[in-house]
Amino acid sequence: MRFFEHQEKARNHTFRLLVLFGLGVFALIFSIDGILLLGLGYSDSPGGLDSANWGKILATYFPALALVAAFIGFVIGSASLYRLSQLSSGGGASVAESLGGRLLQPETRNPVEQKILNIVEEMAIASGMPVPRVYLMDEDGINAFAAGWSPNDAVIGVTRGCVKALSRDELQGVIAHEFSHILNGDMKLNIRLMGILYGIFFLSILGEILIRSISYSSNDKKNDGKGAILMIGFVLFILGWVGWFFGRLIQAAVSRQREFLADASAVQFTRNPEGIGGALRKIAGWNQGSIIRNPHATEASHLFFGNGISGFSALFATHPPLEERIHRIEGIYFQPPENAPETTSTEPTEDISFSAAQLSNLAGTMRMPAKNAAPPVPILIPIENQCKDPAGALAVLYSMLLPSDNPARINARDQLINKLDPAIAQALFEVEPLVLQINKLQLFTLLSKALPSLKMLGKEQSIDAIKICQALISADGKIDFFEFCLWRLAKTGLEKFRQVKGPGAALGIAASTVFSFFAKLSDAPAPAYQKAIQAAGIHGLLANIETKTDDFKMLDKVFDFLAQANSEIKHKVLDGCIAAILHDGKITQDEGVLLRAFCLSMEIPLPPLG
């Protein structure tokens, strides 16, 4: 499958459809003005209209028509914003709970739930984003969904039928598909389209109110202006419905294109088209298909992996036909099979794979010395198990931040244990010796799996944890490179309760600071920096590399500042970082860790590097 080509094609189709959607809103406003102008023209010219009268009529009523257009735009905009605030409140967790999802605890001992959580963790590493919380729905249909306003509040939902019917590879393809929706901004796009559609439909509600108000006052002897108000109400009612109808068609078309994009991205993440292709085939032959029985399934139909509801025509379908999706993935035409018997997968679920691509989170070759080869699985398993519990996750984080110098480490650990909850202190004793045996890249990858547990902490616990992290980092009087990367990862899980502000720096200076740090990790810093500024194409970049690149406090503020930039700027900075990394033809551990920290902070996917 040429997944990059399919991704680009889906994005182009989406852009054209969104432009059409915007033009439709403007056409709706101008249609209302046109109908009103026509009615006013005939009322002012009982003898008939000719071309000579139109200029005079337009000049006479132009201020009123402009006011009507502004009012209609205000109504659509206000109603849309109101609906957006409703849809975005509560984050992905509220959507999952409304669909009957049950939150899976990271420390679960259920093999089926462990299987789901392990696959979600693997796909988070492969796509370069925080591990989201996972919900299990008691539904027989093969389906899944992703919900949330941003990657940091996103959740993944999976049906019991999905786990029951699919193999591990197929389930991995489905989860990768949902990660694509998160990374490509499809959740935010769908919510915005739903808001605009509600704003358009609100015109019908407003028109109905006007019509009802006239009918209730029909017995009033004073009928001045009632005919005009009735006409306006009727026009709003009809055009509101017409606008909603065509807007709904465009929304469904946009959703179908994003499904193609997500399918292509799933192949990119897994490098296995048979996984997602097999899942789609299973849906076609499964007795329950992909149907969701929950009463809230209709309003969330665009979120699902497969069609969650039945009875919709192809025009309003939020998902392309299974045959077409399979054809794009596998390149062959597909005929739906007979209903497949229900079989339960018996594959082992407790094994955890640590392939080079997963550990590095780069789909290229990571040059690692032999002494830093992956340790035996028995060393990794206890740390992974601790990461599944909030207390254990904090213990893993703290053990990684303890000073590397042995006397300073012992002193800092003893002071820390006196302040910690007994459960965290016990976990710290268990994981600290193991942490010392693992290389930086593996430590960073393992800690990224602890993010769901860290997000389960309350407000006061999160604030206390942030303070402890700051104290551990400054215990030896300096901040080193790896401590900074761990700090950025910790902030992803712990700083959800307070607004982070950037330094107010100019974009060019902020980007130059980031490029300087990446260039310093190269064998040839100056040429690497030049490659970065050429690749980024951002105005205001410093001509030469910064001489001082050990100010991690400034880099922390710069990361916060860039995190507030738009997606285009973030990807330009990412292009510069990648150019600096690839300048010397190799990817070191430090470069891989810093790039992961940057992408996690920016909430953007980490691209494959060859």
Over residues 565-596, the pLDDT tens digits come to 887 888 899 999 999 999 888 888 888 889 98
Most confident of 48-62, 385-399, 536-550: 385-399
269 within a domain of the structure (yes/no): no
| Contact between 160 and 207 (Cβ < 8 Å) | no
Residue 178 catalytic?
yes
Most confident of 18-27, 79-88, 158-167: 158-167
DSSP secondary structure letter of residue 372: G
Mean pLDDT computed over 499-528: 79
217 within a domain of the structure (yes/no): yes
192 and 232 belong to one structural domain: yes
379 and 471 belong to one structural domain: yes
512 and 474 belong to one structural domain: no
Q: How do residues 185-222 score in pLDDT, each as one tens digit?
A: 777 776 677 777 777 777 777 777 777 777 666 555 55
Distance CA 161, CA 143 (A): 7
Q: How do residues 120-136 score in pLDDT, each as one tens digit?
A: 888 887 777 778 889 99
Q: How do residues 339-378 score in pLDDT, each as one tens digit?
A: 444 444 444 333 333 333 333 333 333 333 333 444 445 6
218 and 69 belong to one structural domain: yes
131 within a domain of the structure (yes/no): no
pLDDT at 48: 52
pLDDT averaged over the chain?
A: 75
436 and 387 belong to one structural domain: yes
437 and 474 belong to one structural domain: yes
Nearest to 280 by CA among 259, 297, 252, 295: 259
Domain boundary among 243, 260, 277: 260
266 within a domain of the structure (yes/no): no
Q: 103 has which bridge partners? A: 135
80 within a domain of the structure (yes/no): yes
Nearest to 329 by CA among 173, 183, 175, 186: 173
Q: How do residues 61-74 score in pLDDT, each as one tens digit?
A: 677 767 777 777 78
Q: Residue 336, SS3?
A: coil
* Residue type at position 227: G
Distance CA 130, CA 494 (A): 12
597 and 460 belong to one structural domain: no
Neighbours of 555 (CB within 10 A): 23
31 within a domain of the structure (yes/no): yes
Q: How do residues 449-496 score in pLDDT, each as one tens digit?
A: 788 888 888 888 888 899 898 888 887 777 888 888 888 888 888 875
Express as a percent the part of the chain with pLDDT over 90: 8
| Annotated catalytic residue within 178, 259, 483, 603 | 178
The string of DSSP codes covering 414-473 is HHHHHHS-HHHHHHHHHHHHHHTTS-HHHHHHHHHTTHHHHTTS-HHHHHHHHHHHHHHH
Domain boundary among 478, 493, 524: 478
Q: How far is CA 301 from CA 247, 262, 309, 508, 517, in A?
A: 16, 16, 7, 42, 44
62 and 197 belong to one structural domain: yes
470 and 369 belong to one structural domain: yes
Domain boundary among 245, 260, 275: 260
Look at the chain and report how many structural domains it folds into. 3
470 and 527 belong to one structural domain: no
- Residue 43 belongs to domain spanning: 3-91+188-260
pLDDT at 342: 47
86 and 226 belong to one structural domain: yes
Distance CA 177, CA 167 (A): 15
Least confident of 11-20, 279-288, 424-433, 526-535: 11-20
165 within a domain of the structure (yes/no): no
Distance CA 335, CA 459 (A): 53
288 within a domain of the structure (yes/no): no
85 and 194 belong to one structural domain: yes
pLDDT at 40: 62
Whether residue 159 is predicted with pLDDT greater than 90 in this model: the reply is yes
Q: How do residues 227-257 score in pLDDT, each as one tens digit?
A: 666 666 777 777 777 776 776 776 677 777 7
Q: With cut-offs at 50, 70 and 90, classify the pLDDT of residue 608.
A: low
pLDDT at 137: 92
